[in-house]
Amino acid sequence: MKCLLVFDHLNDVVYTKYDEKFSQHIRDFAAHQGFVNPENSDVIIDDNVLVQIFSPIITSQRIMNCQFGNSYTSIQCEGGLNMCFDEYMGYLFVSVAQEDIHSIKKYINICITVVRYLCGPDVCQLKVCEKRAAAATRLIDSWVHLQNNDQAVFVEAVEQLIVNSDVSSVTLQILRKSVDKLISSIDCSKIHAMVLVNNKFLSLYSSQNAKELSASDILFATIVSQSSATKFEQTTYKVDSLQVLLAGSDQNPCCLAHVVHVIPICEGINLLYLLEVGNLAISSSLYEAFFHLHTMQLVQIQKDVDTLRPAFENLDLAMKRLNDALKKNKNNTIEYSAKQLIKKWDIIRKKYLDFLKTTSDEALLRAETLALGLLENLKQLLSLMAVDDKILTSTRNQTVEVAKIVSEKLNSYNEFLKVKDSLTINKYLEEFPGLVHFLYVDRVSHRVTAPTLDFSADETNRLTKNKIWAMIKFSRNHLQEGNLSLMWKDTIFNYAYFVWFEDTSGTPMKPLVYPTNSSKALPLPGLLGSDFYRKLKEVCFPKMSSAKIRCYELFCVHLGLVTASCVLEHTRRLAATIWELRGLKAHPIDLLGNGVEKIFKLDSTCPQFDDTPVFYMIFSKLTVFRQVVDQIRSQINQENPVKNKFHVIVVPRYLYHFQEKLEELGLIYSVIKLHSFQWFPLNLDVGILSLELPNIFKSLFLQSDFTFLPPLARALWNLFFVIGKPRFIVALGEYSKKILSQVDLLIENQGDTDKLESDIGGLIVIDRNVDYSSALLTPGTYTALLNEVYGVSSGVCEYKEDGGQQKNEGRINPVVKKQPVNFTLDSNQDSVYADIKNRYFTEVTSVLSTLTKQLKTEKVQSKEMALDEIKRYVQTQLQATKSRKKFITNHLLAAETIINVLGSRYETQQEIEADIIRNTNRSANFSYLEESLCVEDSEHVSLRLFCLLSVTQKLSESEVKSFWRKFLHQFGFSYSFAYRYLINANFIAEPAPTNSKIRLPKFATKEFYTNANKLKQIPPNPEKINLKFPTCASYVFGGVYIPLITQIASMILNSTPIDEISIKLSGLGVLSLRNDKGFPLERRSLLIYLVGGVTYAEIAACNLLETLTGSRIIIFSDRIITGNDLMKEILS
């Protein structure tokens, strides 16, 4: 379903174009609403019906535009139906279609261009002249056909037919002679002659003094040629004629009247003559007067003097230029109309000046009324200056006669030209192995060079053409956002798109201002509506003349196996090859030239920046975003802010609130541009991948906000392109299943990995809330405790003394001073860490002590060495010894801090937790919990134990209320909101209604122990677990509990029957099992994806399982966390 509707300022229909599906839909809708008799619902749609249906939205759109300057651009409806709006000279163009917004906007943009070429600024001609309305319909249909079948029209460029210089010279001479002959036989001396071979541009000759045709005019002529109803006949020559208003080569369109004659001279070869019959000075100033009068009509509604004054000055200047041009043109047919126009303008001008001096409403009202009459005078003058049917008919016969001569002289070249059309430069692809297709566009002349696509083959239509069209559309969308270089791939092809600039000597030029912040002000990428690339050059080089800057585009399609470096090499060679092919000097190019000058850490104090672009990179956190906005506002001039300067890159995506905040402040698009950015998983250590994204747990499990599900799904999808998609997948938990569903959508819409066999045997995706206990229990391994005490960020443990006084606040467990440390948790770089990272902490100190003794022994031995031994020692061992000494020192300091911070309560805490896991001493455990409120300095410790009790032994409603009341009294009632978070995260149950008559049991069902026993997560004899040389994964918690992911992985690696796995996991939450002939695993390797964070204790348990089973396990999550991190999320 598709339509185009044009409304005037009274909301009357001026022009309609729609398909049968839309027609039937409107007829049914009108009958249902009672606008027409249901019995007559099959008749042609009456314009009054369309007015009744669309008038409310049209009126609303105009009010938003006139009163607030914030009109609608598009409306998205149910069922994939979209509506787009655009305005031209006071007429509203509306398109409704079941297409994406970008395509509909492009369609409207082209429709406006067609109307401008046919009617100029007087759109009403579509209503009063049926011929022009019919021509508009024909031209729009022609563009749609070319858009779908011609790559040059799709990129809005002119495709040059490449022939040798002899043929070019002969063709140009033939055209020149034909133009000379035509000039001598008709009353017109400004003529263009053009030859098109299957819509490819072969040659153009323009007579002396003829206004230069723009690339947009030539492209429009191609559409006119395609729309011509005249077909080639061997014996007779027929001509198709049209009157148009061409834009010319100036920056602003001038609507210069031309007559276009299209004569087929051979099958697939058309000869066009464009006769310039208008006056250039009058045409350009007349269009300018229309434009500024329309602007005045818009702004005068607001009655704001400051806004109206510059609009009046522009209109006054345009009318002065028009008056001067009319005086110089001695034409009796327009003399009377010109006098009436100037006379009326003098009266209006006085009224406007009166308003600007006195702000008199009466003067403005009078000026508004007279302006409508002035508009009619302008329309009358335009009709007198435009072409009439007499000129069309009087020049047709002479044009046919000269066309016969051209046809005869080109006859011997016809077959050669058609062969050249199909073989243009396809053979040059052989020089670029892996290159499938390319389009090279010179955006100075807007000429495109590309291999010819053969659409006769179904396979080409189905695969290659669709891929190329999708590539161009994808590139255009990103160019609209200001991105000048792109590389991406799907399952079949590798794609690349580049835009770059050079000076007139061919030297590459780096943009002075990057366009990413100015894209909103730019038109749609293309040529027909307006020259996007001229605007782009003005944005990128604001202080330079655009005429001195060359702009180029390059699209490349390679086979998927081709590497990125090979693609870049081909792009560099390709330009030179094309220039050599066309016989022109090669220009050096540099497709990539971006640089960062300085990097600052985001702080409360803001450094002063010059006019270069400034990029902020932050996480999706509202408080940080507000800080950034405040910094930017302190930097800018609120009255006249610098555009193209400030960009905020939000990881992994920006929130709707961010955009809403900028819109509220008036900073969106023009001052601050928002960008979403998702990085690939970081390889923190051997077998550990992390996105290092904060707040995922809070967003999903506390706030039920699905904003970050797409980035999590995309991260997994991206990973599949590296490792392949496993054929056996387990998803446990609501969000895990949703992530898999979104991965399926990504695969469906954006392609699947081309790896036939995955490097990973199976995938486990699991929600954090399925196994809270593994995060809440106090861990026993070194790295896990390191994270508990210091907090590890992105695999780095760093702590600096703040120099402040430690506060005791009279508590039994005061805050202990931490030793400053700085090291990376990387087993490949730190051999000491590799040895101790997964050890139980009580063994770490003895290992470090042994390593220290070894260092002392080496030091003693080095003193007794001979000179040559010292030399060898320095060359081979000294550096390693120094590094090892540094590593040992860091870990000794860290271990000392862990002991001091945890203190004696570490053992007590473990005993309590052991009782909780064994489901013993429930009353004593709750008493200890309440006592901790007075003992612990940190509210996170008490809340963490409370949550552990709640998910295991369960607490009655009265116990929950008792604890929470004491917690708020101890740590502050500002935490009251956290009670709702505890409910959302399923730590506690929703309180029963006070008037409920149903007796609830004192304790809820303890399903934790049922599931844990079913999965054998609780060892019966924890005291027998060997913590020094562990063989059971429960060692990470002192032998009391095995993490759930370890048990699931163990079942899969040991080929436990799928039915048994399903039965054991079904009680834990939403379960999804996918087996594409991948179980039992062919490769003994697993990828475990934890949604909501993973702990180092769980990682250590999986590492032990790797060793015991001889398998490979990779842990992947959004962040590495501790139980305290979860508590911080709840209380933040």
Q: In angstroms, rounded to a whole number, what is the distance separating the alpha carbons of residues 518 and 537?
A: 11
Q: In angstroms, rounded to a whole number, what is the distance separating the alpha carbons of residues 744 and 735?
A: 14
Q: Which residue has the higher pLDDT, 892 or 68?
A: 892
pLDDT at 592 over 50: no
- The answer to whether residue 991 sits within a structural domain is no
Are 392 and 265 members of one domain? yes
Q: What SS3 state is found at 271? A: strand
Are 1103 and 1014 members of one domain? yes
CATH number for the domain that contains residue 880: 3.90.830
Are 303 and 160 members of one domain? no
Give mean pLDDT, residues 793-807.
71
- The answer to whether residue 972 sits within a structural domain is no
Are 668 and 775 members of one domain? no
Please give the pLDDT value at position 146: 92
- The answer to whether residue 1095 sits within a structural domain is yes
Q: Which of 109, 124, 139 is where one domain is finished?
A: 124
- The answer to whether residue 247 sits within a structural domain is yes
Give mean pLDDT, residues 1069-1087.
92
Could you tell me the strand order of the sheet in which 2-7 lies? 13-18, 2-7, 91-97, 82-88, 74-76
- The answer to whether residue 140 sits within a structural domain is no
Please give the pLDDT value at position 845: 84
Q: Is the peptide bond before 652 cis (omega within 30 degrees of 0)?
A: yes
pLDDT at 253 over 70: no
Q: What is the count of structural domains for the chain?
A: 7
CATH number for the domain that contains residue 184: 3.30.450.30
HSE at residue 276, side-chain half, CA atoms within 13 A, is 25
The residues near 231 (Cβ < 8 Å, ≥ 6 apart) are 238, 264
Are 360 and 398 members of one domain? no
Are 207 and 248 members of one domain? yes
- The answer to whether residue 586 sits within a structural domain is no
**Domain range for residue 640?**
614-676
Neighbours of 804 (CB within 10 A): 6
Give mean pLDDT, residues 469-474.
92
Please give the pLDDT value at position 256: 85
Model pLDDT for residues 185-205, shown as the tens digit of each residue: 888 888 999 999 888 888 888
- The answer to whether residue 379 sits within a structural domain is yes
- The answer to whether residue 471 sits within a structural domain is yes
Are 409 and 340 members of one domain? no
Are 374 and 415 members of one domain? no
Q: In angstroms, rounded to a whole number, what is the distance separating the alpha carbons of residues 111 and 87?
A: 11
Q: In angstroms, rounded to a whole number, what is the distance separating the alpha carbons of residues 660 and 651?
A: 18
Please give the pLDDT value at position 868: 55
Are 660 and 714 members of one domain? no
pLDDT band of 809, cuts 50, 70, 90: very low
Are 406 and 352 members of one domain? no
H-helix or E-strand spanning residue 4: strand 2-7
Percent of the chain with pLDDT over 70: 87
Are 450 and 569 members of one domain? yes
Give mean pLDDT, residues 764-785.
95
CATH number for the domain that contains residue 71: 3.30.450.70
Q: Which of 628, 653, 676 is where one domain is finished?
A: 676
CB < 8 Å & 24+ apart, contacts of 163-166: 163/202, 163/417, 163/420, 165/583
Please give the pLDDT value at position 805: 45
Q: Which of 360, 383, 406 is where one domain is finished?
A: 383
DSSP state of 411: G
The answer to whether the pTM exceeds 0.75 is no
With the C-alpha atoms ordered 976, 981, 986, 990, is the resulting torsion angle positive or negative?
positive
pLDDT at 1032 over 80: yes
**Chain position carrying tokens 């001008």:** 349
- Between helices 905-918 and 939-951, what is the axis angle to 10°? 20
Q: In angstroms, rounded to a whole number, what is the distance separating the alpha carbons of residues 1123 and 62?
A: 56
Are 566 and 443 members of one domain? yes
Lowest model confidence (mean pLDDT) among 109-113, 305-309, 681-685: 305-309
* Dihedral in degrees, nearest 10, Cα atoms 508, 512, 518, 524: -20
The residues near 931 (Cβ < 8 Å, ≥ 6 apart) are none
Number of H helices, E strands in the chain: 39, 30
For the residues of 287-344, what is the DSSP string, one character each?
Answer: HHHHHHHHHHHHHTTTT-HHHHHHHHHHHHHHHHHHHHHHHH---HHHHHHHHHHHHH
Could you tell me the strand order of the sheet in which 200-206 lies? 200-206, 191-197, 269-276, 256-266, 240-246
Q: Is the peptide bond before 451 cis (omega within 30 degrees of 0)?
A: no
CA distances in angstroms from 391 to 384, 642, 789, listed in the order given: 13, 52, 90
